[in-house]
Amino acid sequence: MTYRYRFLSLLIVDIFIVTLSIFLSYFFRFYGDIPDHYLDQFYINALLTVCICTALLIAFNFYNRMWKYANVEDVLLIFGAVMAGNALSYIFTYYILGYVVPLSVFVLSFETMILLTGTIRLFWRVHVKLNRRNTPDPTLRKALIIGAGSCGTLVCEELKRHRTLQPVAYIDDDPRKHRLRISGIPVLGGRERIQAAVELYGINDIIIAIPSAPQKAIHDIIEQAKLTTAKLKIIPRIDDLINGKVTINTIKDVDVEDLLQRDPIRMDQRQISNYIEGKTVLITGAGGSIGSELCRQIVQFHPSSLVLLGHGENSIFSIETELRRLVPHIRIETVIADIQHATRIENVFQLYRPQVVFHAAAHKHVPLMESNPAEAVKNNIIGTKIMAECADRNRVERFVLISTDKAVNPTSVMGATKRVAEMIVQTIGAHSQTKYAAVRFGNVLGSRGSVIPFFKQQILGGGPVTVTDPRMYRFFMTIPEASQLVIQAGSLVKGGEVFILDMGEPVKIVDLARDLIRLSGLEEGRDIDIVYTGLRPGEKLYEELLTNEEGISKTVHNQIFIGLPGNLSVSELELKIKRLEKLLDGNADQIKDALNYIVPSYRNQALQSN
């Protein structure tokens, strides 16, 4: 039914209802024998009421509403429009004819209009409901909804409307809802009933519909649901509930990020705005996972301009296009450059005059850097040195290096080069007006080269899923979490700190692989296997967040800590780096030996085996 046809149909029905209501009110008032002079009043009153009521209903967008979703607000709208229409026509009729409409006529017409107008809409809603509530389709997958609140009810209605899944029951921890029926399906009990419900009703899908719940509660529910054979889905954002955007497309599969038992980051907006708002911010590696997310987060604090520096043109173009669409009022500058080229980087600083620098550009793939140590040194050490020195010469206010937990007691070339990068910003910062700091955190879920996309690819390919060692643990954080804490750490910089982010509890890699298999609706051993391949070059079983020389102190933010810097000599570090540079054309063992000379805690596995 087109909008025009629907509008005209409802308008004609309402005109008929208003006219009939006015007539019946006169008819019953005078017991079926309406005096002649009141007939004239009836015609005038009916005409005025029809015109005024329909005009009010159109003005209030009454005919733009979907009555199968009618609520209390819609009922109040009917009441207000009919009351106002009757009152105005009562007054105008008096002024035109000089005598009043009988009060009983006014009351009767008002009551009849409300009754008939509301009944027609209610009948339509009941008609839609009855048509929807037919026999269950045996071909549809059965769904168990976790959460019988506003969001869960909306999800249930959406599933019934689109008939993509068959909702059969709710689970809710509120004992007041237990044994009740909401939207026609029962509330079975609390989360402890999830397994029993899946077995009893043959559930295929579990939908978690409590977007306002704390992350720990979500984590506990997922752990319960993982014990079943059902596939897990979730409503991801509370904003969707607030904005009324809960639709079938909102429901997504539960991902590994949902398993992290952490609540959202609380950012100090004022602190961050103080050092970013109105400033020119330069981000290196802006096309990468962390760099691009830093861009998305930083524009929320209204910098005057954002300079995106990267080596890959496609990734820089992608984030530039996204930002220009999201924040057209902020000046976006793009720079394709290699941080190893000192002259080019100096020109960039001279041209754009950045006041805040986030240095996210780095080579981070551990096994690849073991095979290509010279490239790791050039990018992670020489490139960082060039960036840090340019920031000093050009009086940048703050310089934040993105580091890694692999820099702590490193066993890999990548980790050792990032530790040297930390040392560079600490030593330069000790004698500079620029405030330097490094931010150290663990693995980032979903970033390029990380284990999650690799596991997902293996699962899609039918397996096996390869895990290096069943004893391996790693710290994990989502990309938005890491980026938000990096930005927050930038507000705490005083000079020379290594900020350490609270990564939560370490996660066993094999458990991560099992969770991914399970969340994909598969079963380990039956549908897909896990194969152990052994540690790769440069890898270790456990990552650490502090070196032996560093103590730790708290900051004003409960998820950011400071590793206290050791005593570093600028001249000594400079000499060691120059010695390392001279060896870049030599063999890999010489480079690793030179790295070990700069970072004594570097445990080069190849040298140890010799």
End-to-end CA distance of the chain: 81
Identify the CA nearest to 545 among candidates 459, 474, 486, 490: 474
Tell me the residue ranges of DSSP E strands in 21-85.
Answer: none
Please give the torsion angle defined by the CA atoms of residues 175, 176, 180 and 182, in that order, rounded to the nearest 10 degrees. -100
- Residues 303 and 281 sit within 8 Å (Cβ to Cβ): yes
CB proximity list for 477: less than 8 A, separation 6 or greater: 260, 441, 442, 443, 444, 445, 501, 503, 504
Structure tokens at 243: 């904005």
Active site residue 364: no
How far apart (Å, rounded) are the C-alpha atoms in residues 320 and 307? 10
Q: What size, in residues, is the chain? A: 610
Identify the CA nearest to 286 among candidates 270, 263, 267, 310: 310
Asked if the bond preceding 464 is cis, omega within 30° of 0, the reply is yes
How far apart (Å, rounded) are the C-alpha atoms in residues 376 and 363? 6
How far apart (Å, rounded) are the C-alpha atoms in residues 261 and 545? 19
Identify the CA nearest to 174 among candidates 153, 161, 195, 191: 191
Q: CB-hemisphere CA count at 13 Å for 12?
A: 6
Backbone angles phi, psi at 332, to 5 degrees: -110, 125
Catalytic option among 279, 406, 576, 592:
406
Identify the CA nearest to 46 among candidates 23, 29, 78: 23
Find tokens 């599969």 and name the residue.
Answer: 253
Give the count of beta carbons closer than 10 Å to the beta carbon of residue 543: 22
How far apart (Å, rounded) are the C-alpha atoms in residues 30 and 567? 103
How far apart (Å, rounded) are the C-alpha atoms in residues 124 and 136? 22
Query: What is the Cα gyration radius of the chain?
Result: 34
How far apart (Å, rounded) are the C-alpha atoms in residues 97 and 82? 22
Give the count of beta carbons closer than 10 Å to the beta carbon of residue 175: 10
- Residues 426 and 565 sit within 8 Å (Cβ to Cβ): yes
- Residues 182 and 150 sit within 8 Å (Cβ to Cβ): no
Contacts 24+ apart (CB under 8 A), 588-591: 588/371, 588/373, 588/374, 591/373, 591/374, 591/377, 591/413
In 60-149, alpha helices (H):
72-97, 103-132
Identify the CA nearest to 452 among candidates 543, 537, 501, 517: 517
**Which residues are catalytically annotated?**
406
